């Protein structure tokens, strides 16, 4: 997920996420996977006075010391690890682990390793706007109605429609992001309505919706057609909220998907495709075959 996507989700509050930060993760349905299959993943390992080493696959509470939970790890020895931290009897660190997973327990088959840090070259923000660029570019039509207040108003108006599919902002046209980096001191300018594209999506009546929203907002605006409503995505997410082995879930209205974090994909993706249609639910396992 690129920076433009992250900013959109934070500013517009599109993602509804449910995480379990401090509860052990139960085993999911086997689905035919061999319990001896070698898996790998990168996560925080944490040992506290309340429990032994656990693999934190469902999120970490950013307290000091941090708090999290997950499968117990068999064969863990802090003497074989590096880069750990300890506060008030709790020890933790981030590691890439290799081993097997069965009955809610992860068993190491080789020593854990500290994840390698990738040096990535800065990249321009990729556009998340599906509309073609208008003749003359993405320009402000009416500065008086291109403000934070009118941006909030146009989002509220869009959400009130029964066929509302999603909304987000695209910052790829913002001049404050140059050479792949935000200029020092320009962070607030990245959310300037004069230099971003408001995206709104509906499942029908696109031309009518665009005309209505143009009465409210004078900045760069893309109104496009979606396949499913946000309400449908949230309904699916709610249906799956108590699924055994679920680590987290989110509704992504840009890709029009429900994302599910699971320990391993024991046939979960195939099940979701059969139940909701291919591509509607994206299963993201924390542990994958090596």
96-149 pLDDT, tens digit per residue, is 999 999 999 999 999 999 988 776 776 777 899 999 999 999 999 999 999 999
Exposed e or buried b per residue across 3-20, where buried means at least 16 C-beta atoms within 10 angstroms of its C-beta: bbbebbbebbebbbebbb
What are residue 214's phi and psi, to 5 degrees?
Answer: -65, -20
Q: How many residues does the chain have?
A: 290
Beta-carbon neighbour count of residue 290 at 10 Å?
12
Counting beta carbons within 10 angstroms of the beta carbon of residue 267, is it exposed (0 to 12), middle (13 to 18) or buried (19 or more)?
A: middle
Tell me the C-alpha distance between 33 and 109, whole Å.
Answer: 18
Classify the phi-psi angles of 288: left when phi > 0, otherwise alpha if psi is within -120 to 50, otherwise beta.
beta
Whether 35 has a pLDDT exceeding 90, the answer reads: no
pLDDT, residue 31, reads: 55
- State the average pLDDT over residues 199-227: 97
Q: For residue 275, what are its two tokens?
A: 């139940």
pLDDT, residue 134, reads: 94
pLDDT, residue 181, reads: 74
43-71 pLDDT, tens digit per residue, is 999 999 999 999 999 889 889 999 998 99
Whether 255 has a pLDDT exceeding 50, the answer reads: yes
Q: For residue 129, what are its two tokens?
A: 């706007």
pLDDT, residue 41, reads: 95
Cα–Cα distance list, 280 to 137, 166, 225, 234 (Å): 33, 15, 16, 12
Per the listing, tokens 């898996």 go with 39
**Poorest-pLDDT segment among 32-41, 69-78, 119-128:** 119-128
Closest CA to 268 of 280, 256, 278, 283: 283
pLDDT, residue 117, reads: 76
What are residue 62's phi and psi, to 5 degrees?
Answer: -85, 60
pLDDT, residue 179, reads: 67
Instruction: Yes or no: say if 74 and 105 are a contact pair by the CB < 8 Å rule.
Output: yes
Instruction: Using CA atoms of 251, 256, 262, 265 in order, give the dihedral in degrees to the nearest 10.
Output: 170
pLDDT, residue 8, reads: 33
pTM over 0.75: yes
Cα–Cα distance list, 85 to 73, 93, 95, 264 (Å): 18, 6, 12, 28
């Amino acid at each position: 997920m690129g920076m433009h996507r992250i900013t959109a989700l934070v500013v517009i509050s599109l993602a509804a996420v449910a995480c379990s930060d401090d509860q052990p993760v139960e085993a999911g349905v086997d689905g035919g996977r061999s319990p001896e299959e070698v898996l790998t993943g990168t996560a925080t390992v944490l040992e506290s006075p309340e429990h032994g080493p656990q693999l934190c696959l469902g999120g970490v509470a950013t307290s000091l010391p941090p708090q999290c939970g997950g499968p117990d790890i068999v064969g863990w020895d802090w003497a074989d690890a590096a880069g750990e931290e300890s506060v008030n009897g709790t020890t933790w660190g981030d590691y890439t682990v290799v081993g097997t997973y069965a009955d809610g327990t992860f068993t190491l088959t080789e020593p854990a390793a500290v994840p390698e840090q990738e040096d990535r070259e800065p990249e321009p923000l990729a556009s998340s706007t599906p509309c073609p660029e208008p003749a003359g570019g993405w320009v402000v039509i009416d500065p008086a109605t291109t403000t934070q207040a009118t941006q909030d108003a146009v989002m509220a108006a869009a959400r009130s429609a029964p066929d509302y599919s999603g909304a987000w902002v695209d910052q790829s046209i913002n001049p404050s992001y140059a050479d792949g980096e935000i200029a020092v001191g320009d962070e607030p300018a990245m959310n300037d309505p004069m230099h971003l594209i408001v995206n709104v999506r509906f499942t029908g009546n696109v031309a009518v919706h665009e005309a209505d929203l143009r009465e409210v907002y004078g900045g760069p605006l893309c109104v496009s057609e979606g396949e499913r409503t946000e309400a449908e995505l949230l309904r699916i997410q709610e249906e799956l909220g108590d699924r055994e082995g679920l680590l987290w879930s989110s509704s992504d209205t840009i890709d029009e998907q429900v994302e599910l974090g699971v320990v391993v994909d024991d046939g979960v993706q195939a099940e979701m495709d059969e139940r909701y249609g291919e591509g509607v639910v994206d299963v993201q396992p924390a542990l994958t075959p090596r």
